[in-house]
Amino acid sequence: MLYTVSLHWLTGELMLYTVSLHWLTGELMVCTVSLHWLTVHLNTLS
């Protein structure tokens, strides 16, 4: 019983970790795109 609960909890933890990692990757992608856009915009201005 305790083993099953522990396993279930561990699976939940892994899922949360995966979601966090996915969110972080998305955040990094947005940052990169924003930075790229800013660079292009500045190059166009100058």
pLDDT confidence of residue 2: 86
Q: Classify residue 46 by its DSSP letter.
A: -
Q: Tell whether the model's pLDDT for residue 40 goes beyond 90.
A: yes
pLDDT band at 1 (very low <50, low <70, confident <90, very high): confident
C-alpha span between 41 and 46 (Å, rounded)? 9
C-alpha span between 33 and 45 (Å, rounded)? 18
Q: What would the mean pLDDT of 1-25 be, rounded to a whole number?
A: 93
For residue 44, what are the domain limits?
1-46
Domains in the chain, number? 1
Q: What would the mean pLDDT of 22-26 be, rounded to a whole number?
A: 96
Q: Report the predicted TM-score, pTM, of the whole model to 2 decimal places.
A: 0.58
Instruction: Calculate ∠ Cα 34-38-42, nearest 5°.
Output: 175
C-alpha span between 11 and 17 (Å, rounded)? 10
Q: How many CA atoms lie within 13 A of 5 on its CB side?
A: 2
